[in-house]
Amino acid sequence: MSCAPDSNYCVKKGYKPQIFNLNAFTHSTLIPASFMEKAATTFFSLALLFMKFLIALGGGEANYTSSDESALLAFKSHITYDPNHILATNWSTNTSFCHWLGVSCRRCGQNRVTSLDLSNMGLNGTIPPQIGNLSFLSYFNISGNYFNGHLPAELAQLHQLKVYH
C-alpha cells in the first residue's frame, strides 16, 4: 500500500485509476461502493426537497396568480356589452389584477382573489366556467347586470364562497 505525500488516502499497489469510470472508482479502497450509493441517494433526496422548496417559495404562487388572472380574463372575454368600457380600460395585464376595478385580493402571502364586485355596471354576457378557478373567492356580486345562460357548475367548487348576488 502506498500513500501520497500530505494525503490521508492510500491506494493498493498496482491500482491504476480509470478516469470517468465509476465502477473502477467505487471498487477502489478510496471510497466504498456502499458510501457512494448512500451519497447518491442523499443527493437526489436533497435535490428533490430543494425543488419542492423552490416551487413552494415562488413557482407555486406564480401558478395560482396566473390562474386567478386567467379566470378574470376569461370572465372579461365573456362580456358582450360593457356600456362604460370599465373592464375594457381597467382590466389590463399591464396592471396587477388585484388593482382592477371590482377585484379585491388577500394581501397576506399570495395575492388571491377574494372578492369580485361588478354590481350595477350594466354588463351583458355569460359567466364562464373558469370562474371556478378563483378558489379563494368568498364574495361574488354581479347584480344590476344582464347576464344570461346558466350558472356554471364550477361555482360549486368555490367552497369559500359565502355571498353571491
CB 69 within 8 A of CB 93: yes
Quick check: pTM over 0.85?
Answer: no
In a domain, 88, yes or no: yes
62-96 pLDDT tens trace:
455 678 999 999 999 999 999 999 898 999 989 99
In a domain, 55, yes or no: no
User: Residue 43, exposed/middle/buried by CB under 10 A (0-12, 13-18, 19+)?
Assistant: exposed
In a domain, 4, yes or no: no
pLDDT recorded at residue 110: 75
CATH number of the domain within which 73 lies? 3.80.10.10
In a domain, 101, yes or no: yes
In a domain, 20, yes or no: no
> Residue 153: which domain range?
60-164
31-69 pLDDT tens trace:
666 666 676 666 656 655 665 555 454 444 445 567 899
- Report the number of distinct structural domains present in the chain: 1
In a domain, 35, yes or no: no
In a domain, 29, yes or no: no
Task: Tell me which DSSP letter residue 133 carries.
Answer: G
In a domain, 100, yes or no: yes
CB 134 within 8 A of CB 111: no
Cα–Cα distances in Å, from 153 out to 32, 109, 161? 60, 29, 14
Q: Three-state DSSP class for 113?
A: strand
